[in-house]
Structure 1
């Protein structure tokens, strides 16, 4: 009876440990509980709402359909762009983990005040994580000024 109880206890402990690790452990680029939503956004930079993206260091929030669970942050970096997910990459999502742009130079997680450099996505010194915000690929046609973001 004691062997059965011990084996059952160990088995139960392993199951719950595995569930905890899988629900919020680290993956390569985000925590495992990071939402995995389809991204399929097309931005016409000729339109006034996207004008900031025509200039270096310009940025916008994108909250359109198929822009993830909390939207995107799109930043113009020279002739290219950075497209960040607004979910914090290092914490399971809750009511206070939506990333925000701070002072036009940093990305901030309001939950724990972790900051990343807006242009590069690198964590600032003293950050609580080494994970950068999740980024997405894009295609940009400079002739039509259409930016397509996908995942």
Structure 2
């Protein structure tokens, strides 16, 4: 009986894994919720697939968020601060077509996937864009973390 309890304890200890390396050390994950009304001219570009919009309102992420319609009823939202260094004067990225670019290092990220497109091969760990939830209900898209 001791053997069975010992095996079960060992199994649970091995199966529980905590991997803090996936967490981005440069960006804090801020809780927020913001609604975008697609009827407003400010968010009119979101009515078409592939047109990103920057939402820079106070309380939306660290430096705002980029929102883009990626399908008929699918939206993606990402943090607007570059994920590969702490927020500073040059870390708010700018829209370049369907990508965003960080002016600090000229890193480019896709708004369809959030992945860094020009990742250097220097052995350093680089992070992709911080993803936010984006859900649509009627003509309102809610982005939140």
TM-score band by shorter chain is 0.7 to 0.9
Q: Does 1:137 align with 2:133?
A: yes
Q: Does 1:76 align with 2:90?
A: no
TM-score by length of 1: 0.72
Separation (CA, whole Å) in 2 of partners of 1:33 and 1:46:
35
1:2-151 alignment, distance < 5 Å: 27-30=21-24, 32-79=25-72, 80-102=74-96, 104-127=97-120, 130-141=126-137, 144-151=138-145
The Cα of 1:65 is off from its aligned counterpart by 3.2
The Cα of 1:125 is off from its aligned counterpart by 3.6
Q: SS at 1:137's partner residue?
A: strand
Separation (CA, whole Å) in 1 of partners of 2:110 and 2:68:
11
The Cα of 1:83 is off from its aligned counterpart by 0.3
Separation (CA, whole Å) in 2 of partners of 1:107 and 1:127:
17
What corresponds to 1:14 in structure 2?
none
Residue 29 of structure 1 contacts residue 134 of structure 1 at CA under 8 Å; is this kept in 2? no
Separation (CA, whole Å) in 2 of partners of 1:27 and 1:134:
14
Q: Which runs of 5+ in 1 are unaligned?
A: 1-25
- Kindly tell me: are residues 127 and 48 of structure 1, through their superposed partners in 2, closer, same or farther at Cα, counting changes over 3 Å? farther
Residue 134 of structure 2 contacts residue 143 of structure 2 at CA under 8 Å; is this kept in 1? yes
Q: Which runs of 5+ in 2 are unaligned?
A: 1-19
Query: 1:92-119, CA deviations, whole angstroms, 9 ceiling, x for partnerless residues?
Result: 11111112111x1321111111111222
TM-score by length of 2: 0.75
Please give the root-mean-square deviation of Cα atoms over the aligned residues, in Å: 1.9
Separation (CA, whole Å) in 1 of partners of 2:57 and 2:75:
18
Residue 115 of structure 1 contacts residue 127 of structure 1 at CA under 8 Å; is this kept in 2? no
Q: SS at 1:136's partner residue?
A: strand
